């Protein structure tokens, strides 16, 4: 009898072990990011779609997000722009739709579609707008193709350093690790201050390191920051006075090179 009971006991032990393995661990790590969030997503330039509503009457439908909506924003707004006040008077009604239906929420007036970003589920959407001209002419419709994402967008911000002068540039990838960052002026060139030191690079944990003259490309067209520690997602660069000309401060761009080896992504902020 004992010989027969041994397999049963062993089977029970194996089943118990399997049940323990199947239970979720309270200390388990967060789910891995989706493939889309593993890539750097840069904000896109605004889009203005021209629409001819009637002969001699053209309006523009503005998408300030360039077709990419980040759902961490509070509100999302699309709008209609007129060349003159008289053009607005020639449009009887403006009707907005989302994916072919009346939006559940619209917090604005007729010439703007304003709603919480969370109203857009992750994925593709169609924002439609229908114009009815004054005088009973045929209605005209236009569409904007947009994509909503839960991924954080990369950012570039800059501010003058007070006191002392210079410029502080903050760059963030939105999540993916960075291998290198390349700053470029919109026009002109970076200068070399006295002493050959361009500034400092601030990293996570309050660490910083010197940004030396070797980071400046020949001709001054870029400042390249390499050798970032693994897992770096944000960098704060303080450029010394004279590195960036005052007239070019609002046209800097940053090329972010992810440590995954994917192509670099350009991020722009204009003042």
- CATH number of the structural domain spanning residue 112: 2.60.40.10
Q: What is the pLDDT of residue 215?
A: 94
28 within a domain of the structure (yes/no) = no
Domain that holds residue 245: 155-268
- Inter-residue contact 211 to 159 (CB < 8 Å): no
102 within a domain of the structure (yes/no) = yes
Q: 16 pLDDT exceeds 50?
A: no
100 within a domain of the structure (yes/no) = yes
The mean pLDDT of 149-171, rounded to a whole number, is 91
Q: What is the pLDDT of residue 3?
A: 38
pLDDT tens digits, one per residue of 128-147: 999 999 988 899 999 999 99
Co-location of 88 and 192 in the same domain: no
Last residue of a domain, one of 149, 172, 192: 149
210 within a domain of the structure (yes/no) = yes
Co-location of 131 and 172 in the same domain: no
Higher pLDDT, 72 or 245: 72
Residue 233 sits in a domain whose CATH number is: 2.60.40
Last residue of a domain, one of 119, 149, 179: 149
Distance CA 233, CA 214 (A): 23
DSSP annotation of 228 reads P
Beta-bridge mates of residue 212: 197
**Where does the chain have alpha helices with state H?**
2-22, 85-89
236 within a domain of the structure (yes/no) = yes
Last residue of a domain, one of 92, 121, 149: 149
pLDDT tens digits, one per residue of 173-204: 999 999 999 999 887 889 887 777 899 999 98
Distance CA 50, CA 140 (A): 12
Co-location of 139 and 166 in the same domain: no
The mean pLDDT of 157-177, rounded to a whole number, is 90
163 within a domain of the structure (yes/no) = yes
Distance CA 51, CA 63 (A): 13
Co-location of 160 and 255 in the same domain: yes
Q: 57 pLDDT exceeds 50?
A: yes
**Tokens at residue 110, please?**
């007729």
Instruction: Give residues with Cβ within 8 angstroms of 193, minimum separation 6.
Output: 240, 241, 242, 243
Domain count of the fold of the chain: 2
Co-location of 174 and 240 in the same domain: yes
Co-location of 140 and 211 in the same domain: no
Q: What is the pLDDT of residue 242?
A: 87
Co-location of 160 and 137 in the same domain: no
**What is this structure's pTM?**
0.76
Peptide bond into 33 cis (omega under 30): no
Co-location of 140 and 171 in the same domain: no
26 within a domain of the structure (yes/no) = no
Give the model's confidence band at 6: pLDDT under 50 very low, under 70 low, under 90 confident, else very high: very low
Co-location of 171 and 112 in the same domain: no
Q: What is the average pLDDT score of the chain?
A: 85
Higher pLDDT, 237 or 219: 237
pLDDT tens digits, one per residue of 95-135: 999 999 999 999 888 999 999 999 999 999 999 999 999 98
- Inter-residue contact 126 to 100 (CB < 8 Å): yes
């Amino acid at each position: 009898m004992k010989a027969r009971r041994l397999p049963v006991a062993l089977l029970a032990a194996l089943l118990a072990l399997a049940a323990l393995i199947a239970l979720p661990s309270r200390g388990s790590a967060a789910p891995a990011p989706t493939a889309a969030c593993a890539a750097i997503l840069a904000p896109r330039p605004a889009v203005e779609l021209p629409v001819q509503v009637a002969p001699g009457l053209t309006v523009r439908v503005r998408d300030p997000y360039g077709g990419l909506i980040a759902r961490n924003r509070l509100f999302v707004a699309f709008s209609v722009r007129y060349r003159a006040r008289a053009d607005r008077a020639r449009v009887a009604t403006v009707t907005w739709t989302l994916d072919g239906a009346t939006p559940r929420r619209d917090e604005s007036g007729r010439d703007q579609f304003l709603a919480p970003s969370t109203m857009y589920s992750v994925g593709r959407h169609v924002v439609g707008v229908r114009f009815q001209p004054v005088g009973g002419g045929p209605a005209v419709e236009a569409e904007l193709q947009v994509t909503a994402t839960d991924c954080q967008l990369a950012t570039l911000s800059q501010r003058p350093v007070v006191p002392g002068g210079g410029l502080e540039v903050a760059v963030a990838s939105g999540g993916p690790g960075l291998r290198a960052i390349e700053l470029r002026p919109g026009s002109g060139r970076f200068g070399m201050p006295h002493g050959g030191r361009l500034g400092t690079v601030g990293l996570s944990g309050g660490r910083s390191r010197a940004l030396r003259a070797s980071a400046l490309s020949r001709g001054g067209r870029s400042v390249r920051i390499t050798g970032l520690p693994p897992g770096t997602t944000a960098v704060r660069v303080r450029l010394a006075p004279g590195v960036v000309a005052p007239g070019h401060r609002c046209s800097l761009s940053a090329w972010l090179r992810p440590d995954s080896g994917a192509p670099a992504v350009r991020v722009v902020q204009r003042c």
